[in-house]
Amino acid sequence: MPAAKSTLKKQQTHERILRAAARAIRKHGYEGVGVAEVMREAGLTNGGFYDQFKSRDALLADSVSEERRGLAFGVHRAMDNAGAVIGPLTAALPPERDSLLEAARELSLRAIHPNWQLATPDLLGRAHGAGLAVNVWTVNHPEQIARLVALGADGVISDFPERVPRMTAVAN
């Protein structure tokens, strides 16, 4: 096998193991994740594990880092694709919004925190439908605060907290 193909295959195997580890972490927590389970989930033998990682702890650390990078990339890509939005709630989020909400659910997040300009009725409805609270930032104008509260924002982050009405805490 040529070196380029070998390197690509090794990278694909590495990513496959990371995805399996991320699923196991979400399902069982760190303490409940073992090398044998991760490799079985990835459809690989235990022996192949040490070609990719020095230890179980290295696998778990890489898996968490990869999840965070993926989520951060998705957030930045979605915001870049949404463009510079000027004006109250006129942006339509790009198609990545569904993958962001799915990632939030997979990571067992309880809330998302979009910029106020991206907090459309559609996003709030989809997030609430997915069981996620929506806390918008940074909202400083009383009219914008009132509009977002009326749309159903669960929380408002502001440089002027005295302008934000007291909101009922959501118990999860």
What's the N-to-C CA distance of the chain in angstroms? 52
Q: Mean pLDDT of all residues in the chain? A: 75
CA distance 129 to 123: 10
Yes or no: say if 122 and 92 are a contact pair by the CB < 8 Å rule. yes
pTM attached to this predicted model: 0.45
Rounded to the nearest 10°, the torsion over CA 23, 135, 132, 146 is -160
pLDDT in tens, 79-113: 444 433 322 222 334 445 566 777 777 778 888 88
Q: Which CATH code is given to the segment(s) 83-163?
A: 3.20.20.190
Thinking of the domain 3-67, which architecture would CATH place it in? Orthogonal Bundle (1.10)
Yes or no: say if 18 and 62 are a contact pair by the CB < 8 Å rule. yes
Q: Which residue has the higher pLDDT, 103 or 11?
A: 11
* Region(s) of the chain under CATH 3.20.20.190: 83-163
Q: Which residue has the higher pLDDT, 106 or 133?
A: 133
Return the percentage of the chain with pLDDT > 70, whole number. 72
Q: Which residue has the higher pLDDT, 1 or 111?
A: 111
* Region(s) of the chain under CATH 1.10.357.10: 3-67
Bridge partner residues of 133 (DSSP): 111
Yes or no: say if 60 and 33 are a contact pair by the CB < 8 Å rule. yes
pLDDT in tens, 43-78: 998 888 888 888 888 887 777 666 555 444 444 444
